[in-house]
Structures are given as C-alpha cells and as structure tokens.
Structure 1
Amino acid sequence: MKFTLVLLIVAAFVGCALSWSCTDASWAEYKAKFNKNYPDPAEDLRHHNIYCEKLAQINEHNAKFQKGESTFEMGVNQFTDMSAKEMTEWMG
C-alpha cells in the first residue's frame, strides 16, 4: 500500500524523459535540483540507492506506457529518493 502511494505521488509529478539513468552525475543533478544534502556518506548512499531503485521502477512503468499498457507516464520528483517510511512520515 505504501509503495503504491509513493508510485502515485511520483506519477503526479510527471517528467518528460522516456528513460532515466542511475549515474553519479544524475544523482548530483537530482540533489541540486531538489536541494537535497546528505552530509553523512552512508545516508547519501542510502538515498542514492533508493533513487536508483525508483528510477528502475519509473523506467519499467514508462516502457509499459510506451506500449500502451498504462495510461500515464511517470517521472522524477522531490520524493524519488525517499523510502516508503519517509514518505509516510512526511505526509504525517
């Protein structure tokens, strides 16, 4: 349920790219765009891993969208590096 909620929130802030890649450069761009700062390297790595997992989910979903198997396209937003627990806490 929480995972579905996160995906719906991601879908609500649709991006234009057809495919997102998980690179150090894209992670740095993401953090700059959404003003994310993780001074602790372990915390940065944890959020980077979440970001990469969500990019894979976004790409998988968007491939289905391109085939007409879904009615909406997903994109990256300020929640892409947050866990389901963090999303729940953020929503209160």
Structure 2
Amino acid sequence: MAAVTDQEWSEYKDKFNKKYADDEDKMRRDIFVKSKVKIEEHNKKYENGDVSYKMAINHLSDCTADEMAKRCGKRVVPTTSQFAE
C-alpha cells in the first residue's frame, strides 16, 4: 500500500484548499491513500502499454465513490437501511 507522509497529506489539502475536523481528516486521508494506490497501479499498466491514459492525484482524490458519482450527476439509489432512518 502506498505510504502517504504527513507532509504529502498537508500539501494535498493546501493545494486543493481542504480543511477537515480531526475525525473526518483521518477518514479523508484513508480514502486519499486508497486513491493513490489505485492511481499507482493504473499508471504501471500505462507504462506497460495496457491502458492508454495516465491518472493523477486531483481534487477528488479524497472523495468517496458516492460523492464522486453525485458530483458527476449520477443518481445514487439509497440502500434499504437509508430508508429506515
């Protein structure tokens, strides 16, 4: 798994003007780490000629899949447990 230093996480948040409370910061950092791993794995495929484009860290790298889908206009159907709330 890709390591993310405190400095790298801080620089990411500064670059994209991200500010989080402590609990959310940990959650967002975990998502960022997973995104970084996915990007690194994809870019290895690019270097091997298996895919035609590269990926990079961006302002969405600390967002959940549901958050990204909503930002892109995809409707997310609530789960049954969300109806119970």
TM-score range, shorter chain: 0.7 to 0.9
RMSD: 1.5
Alignment match, 1:85 = 66
SS at match of 2:58: coil
TM-score by length of 2: 0.77
Match of 2:53 among 66, 72, 85: 72
Amino acid at match of 1:23: T
Alignment map for 1:6-45 (pairs within 5 Å):
22-38=4-20, 40-45=21-26
SS at match of 1:74: coil
TM-score by length of 1: 0.72
Give the Cα–Cα distance (whole angstroms) in 2 for the partners of residues 91 and 65 of structure 1.
Answer: 25
Which consecutive unaligned segments of at least 5 residues does structure 2 have? Answer: 74-85
Q: Deviations over 1:34-88 (max 9, x none)?
A: 00000x2110000000000000000000011111111000001100000011123
Alignment match, 2:83 = none
Larger Rg over CA atoms: 2
Give the Cα–Cα distance (whole angstroms) in 2 for the partners of residues 89 and 61 of structure 1.
Answer: 23
Give the Cα–Cα distance (whole angstroms) in 2 for the partners of residues 90 and 37 of structure 1.
Answer: 19
Q: Which has the higher contact order (CA 8 A, sep 6+)?
A: 1
Which consecutive unaligned segments of at least 5 residues does structure 1 have? Answer: 1-19
